[in-house]
Amino acid sequence: MVPFVGPSYNLRVTAADCQRTVNMCLKKIESGTGKANYILESVPGMVERFDLSGAPKVRGFATVAGGRTFIVYGSALAEVASDMSQLTGLATLATDTGPVSIAIGRDHIVVADGSSTPVYYDLSASSGFYIIDANMYPASWVVYLGGRFVFGRDGTDQFFWSAQDDPTRYDALDFATAEAMPDGVIRGLVYREELWLMGTATIEVYRVSQSADSAFEKNTGVSISIGCIAKWAAQIIDNSLFWLGQDDNGGAIVYRCQGYTPQRVSTYAVEEKLQASVSIASARAFCYQMDGQAFYCVSSPGVDTTWCFEVQGNWHEMAELVNGSYTASRAVCHVYTGLRHLVGTDDGFVYELDKDVYTNAGDVLCRERISPHSAIPPDTAIFFPRARLICSVGTVTDDSSPMVELSYSNDGGRTWHDTLPRSLGEVGETNKAIRWNRLGHIEPGQSRAWKVRCTDNVQFDIIDLKVDEVLGS
């Protein structure tokens, strides 16, 4: 039997590969002496912290040194109490929808929202204001580098910057232009202590200048001819820059830069899904690290799940189960407060991610694994007399009776046999055996794929599915 535990790699041609891992992620057993080399572990569930559904969206987060956490929702900039008890309003933005970019300076927070009047908040004086200056232009992104707040002038290749550690003062001559190609700089990020200007066809890198003529100068030793499709899908985690890229020949590929060389990390399966998006430029990504595993998670309109890359090299999917079908994760942005992982949603909620929670704020957290099917169909019939699931059992602490379901397909995952439920054990049944018998057979030329699913509010982690196979005549 092919290994049951694995990543998501469900191709358009399911007869080639239909395997899928939803709301579970691969974790390597580093000791080398465990029951398996890898297990599938549940993704964290969600606990509701704030209902802001009167506001259009949660638009972004930021955390400053010392653990203070800030949120933009609707038109409000607010501070999040460390005990999650309240939000304290600090300033009002000119806009109330769309993602925002937040830069943290030495004494200030600056929020760019696409308007020509971004907001700054003085951390020392505890006061927030609009930035009103004749040399301020509409800007949807801002970063802090070399003691200056740097903005991208929307719709152009220009970027401009503030006076030293003063977000209120701008000089008409304090700007520069990305010149490699007139492709429009749609996002700027600080990576490796340099300013990465991401256009739709190229990426240019600037660094703090030692010259009195300009605050920044181009790093002429760097040339990247892969652009950025979706400005809000560019993120930094694990000392790497990730983005959804394109070149002259095509796009919707996830790239990773460690240093200055882009490396493709998406698979054909991921790329098939992303390239089918109805608005790939609207894709968004967030990152988080929990229990030593770091993830880059990207969603795009029209794609039915959120695709998550664990930086060691494996993909899984996060999704909501709504009326029997998957939709992308409700989370669109993330912040780590130093104590908690918070995510925001487009319908105005803030949730905390928690590995010890097995619902999405009371909604079903469906954990599902579909195995690869037989790569080479057999020349003879194969019978499947028994199967045994090795997973978390007996973990409930109440009188519930959680269940797990097994199903199988003989046609590459296009149709599935009726589900076969089994108990995951009641309180104290930590040695519960989960078995199925008489699981049918495949004829010569067919292949078998297995599906395991759990929708109950219970810990559910998979070590393996052991299936007996008997050759027929």
What pLDDT score was predicted for residue 65? 86
What pLDDT score was predicted for residue 397? 80
Taking CA atoms, 84 is separated from 52, 61, 341, in Å, by: 13, 14, 12
What pLDDT score was predicted for residue 398? 82
Residue 150: strand pairing partners: 143, 161
Is 325 within 8 Å of 315 (Cβ atoms)? no
What pLDDT score was predicted for residue 377? 67
* Token digits of residue 125: 């004086």
Is 425 within 8 Å of 394 (Cβ atoms)? yes
Instruction: Give the tens place of pLDDT for each residue, 142-177.
Output: 999 999 999 999 999 999 999 999 999 999 999 999
Contacts of 111 (CB under 8 A, 6+ apart): 60, 72, 77, 91, 93, 100, 101, 102, 118, 119, 120, 121, 142
Residues of the chain with pLDDT under 50: none
* Token digits of residue 419: 């589900």
Is 100 within 8 Å of 72 (Cβ atoms)? yes
Dihedral over Cα of 240, 245, 247, 251: its sign: positive
Contacts of 347 (CB under 8 A, 6+ apart): 53, 57, 330
Residue 306: strand pairing partners: 318
Beta strands in 323-471 (DSSP E): 325-328, 331-336, 341-345, 349-354, 359-360, 363-364, 367-370, 382-383, 386-391, 403-409, 420-423, 434-437, 441-442, 449-454, 462-467, 470-471
- HEC sequence for 110-145: EEECCCCCCEEEECCCCEEEECCCCCCCCCCCEEEE
How many C-alpha atoms does 463 have within 13 Å on its Cβ side?
Answer: 12
Rounded Cα gap, residues 220 and 358, in angstroms: 50
Instruction: Give the tens place of pLDDT for each residue, 339-353.
Output: 999 999 999 999 999
What pLDDT score was predicted for residue 375? 57
Taking CA atoms, 140 is separated from 102, 110, 119, 252, in Å, by: 10, 11, 12, 22
Rounded Cα gap, residues 251 and 414, in angstroms: 28
Rounded Cα gap, residues 124 and 88, in angstroms: 16
Q: In angstroms, how far is CA 423 from the centroid of its own chain?
A: 32
Q: Are strands 367-370 and 18-22 parallel, antiparallel or unpaired?
A: antiparallel
